[in-house]
Amino acid sequence: MKRIHILLLLPMMIVACLNELSPAMPDEEETTLKKAVGHHFLIGTTLNNAIVNGRDPASDRVVKRHFNAITHGYAMKFAMLHPAEGRYLFDESDAFVRYGEQNGMTVIGHCLVWHKQLPDWVVRDKDGNLVTPEALKARMREHISTVVGRYRGRVKGWDVVNEAFLEDGSYRQSPYYEILGEEFIPLAFQYAHEADPDAELYYNDGNMAVTKRREAVVRLIGQLKARGLRIDAVGMQAHVSMNFPKVENFEKSIQAFADAGVKVMITEWDMTALPTTDTGSDGRPLTPEELDPYPEKMPDSASQAWNARMKQFFDLFVKYSDVVTRVTVWGVSDIDSWLNDFPFPGRTDYPLLFDREYQPKTFVREILGEE
């Protein structure tokens, strides 16, 4: 009798042991953004050093579960990578690229040419005068070829030039423009392509629903294409607010860039829930309470309005998913958003897909099928 019992138990014991040995199977039923929207476009977010280096496990969990594309908020900018002539600091950007590779994510490089965080040594001589066009071209080429070349085949695409146009469609009077004129943009695209012929190349800017800027970018696309230069997409940052821009004007820009023959990427999406000016519609200065109306939490009415408007933008991106190839939000949870201190420091904002408890906002739960 006893021998029969053991024989009956043996199969169950073997199964139990195998379960112990096999790695925990991913929860196939776990809802994730990248599964829910992956057939439309890449869904990305920005990382900071804390997430990359394992010092922010809560954000790290959200990134690995929900996102399949990453951009670093600052580590790949000129001042961070190349603070002095001949001196490169790659530790932070190397760690970022490794994070993406280790987690099977699409890595985006942001950004090669930008008027901000541009060290003086690049554009001014020891007397503080602007350097010659030849000197700047040599420094741009050296920076871009070194950085893009380092990550050749590892970074899928680069924000080659960021924020070169003003809202009236004119060129921003950056040192790049003052020294090289309009030529700095095609040169940047040329240098990037030379450094990694397979990398996608993007022009990136904010407030792209503004007619004159839209028209300037459409002209730029035509100029680059006419010179046989590679430009794959336009990055629309999409730092939007509760009352700007109109969704239909944002849509007009998507259509205009598509008609110009490029893809569109939503590269820095967030929506402030707070006032974007320090005066009211009557011109009266806003009080501190009006500037920071939700120090603890958003009231349901404001939260519902925020989710509804975010869903309008998301539905627009899905409508144009034949053109929109990536949607990146500019941060993981509300805690880490740059908007908590912009344009006024010390405010509590609610601009991202995940709240301060790292939980998906209402419209995100709808996308996940959890609502």
Enumerate binding residues for ligand G3I (CB under 6 A): 48-49, 73-74, 77, 117, 162, 206, 237, 268, 338
238: left (phi over 0), alpha (psi -120 to 50) or beta: left
Beta-carbon contacts of 97 under 8 Å, excluding residues fewer than 6 positions away, are 107, 151, 154, 155
Is 134 catalytic? The answer is: no
Q: Which is nearer to ligand G3I, 177 or 338 (CB)?
A: 338
Cα separation values, 74 from 21, 81, 267, 365, Å: 41, 9, 14, 29
CB of 83 to ligand G3I, least distance (A): 11
CB of 134 to ligand G3I, least distance (A): 28
DSSP-derived 3-state class of residue 16: helix
Within 13 Å, how many C-alpha atoms sit on residue 147's CB side?
A: 35
Q: Which is nearer to ligand G3I, 59 or 190 (CB)?
A: 59
CB of 48 to ligand G3I, least distance (A): 5
CB 317 within 8 A of CB 40: yes
CB of 240 to ligand G3I, least distance (A): 13
Q: How many helices (H) and strands (E) are present in the chain, helices listed first?
A: 15, 9
CB of 54 to ligand G3I, least distance (A): 13
The catalytic position among 268, 296, 357, 370 is 268
Alpha carbon of residue 215 to chain centroid: 23
The catalytic position among 20, 29, 101, 163 is 163
CB of 237 to ligand G3I, least distance (A): 5
Separation of alpha carbons 206 and 163, rounded Å: 7
| CA angle (81 as vertex; 78, 85 as ends), nearest 5 | 80
Q: Which is nearer to ligand G3I, 44 or 367 (CB)?
A: 44
Q: Which is nearer to ligand G3I, 204 or 325 (CB)?
A: 204
Separation of alpha carbons 149 and 145, rounded Å: 5
Residue written as token pair 């790290």? 60
Q: Which is nearer to ligand G3I, 162 or 174 (CB)?
A: 162
Q: Quote the DSSP letter at residue 245.
A: S
CB 245 within 8 A of CB 214: no
Is 251 catalytic? The answer is: no
Dihedrals phi, psi of 93, to nearest 5 degrees: -75, -35
Q: Which is nearer to ligand G3I, 56 or 367 (CB)?
A: 56
Q: Which is nearer to ligand G3I, 73 or 351 (CB)?
A: 73
Dihedrals phi, psi of 343, to nearest 5 degrees: -80, 5
DSSP-derived 3-state class of residue 69: strand
CB of 162 to ligand G3I, least distance (A): 6
Separation of alpha carbons 268 and 297, rounded Å: 24
Instruction: Kindly list the catalytic residues.
Output: 163, 268
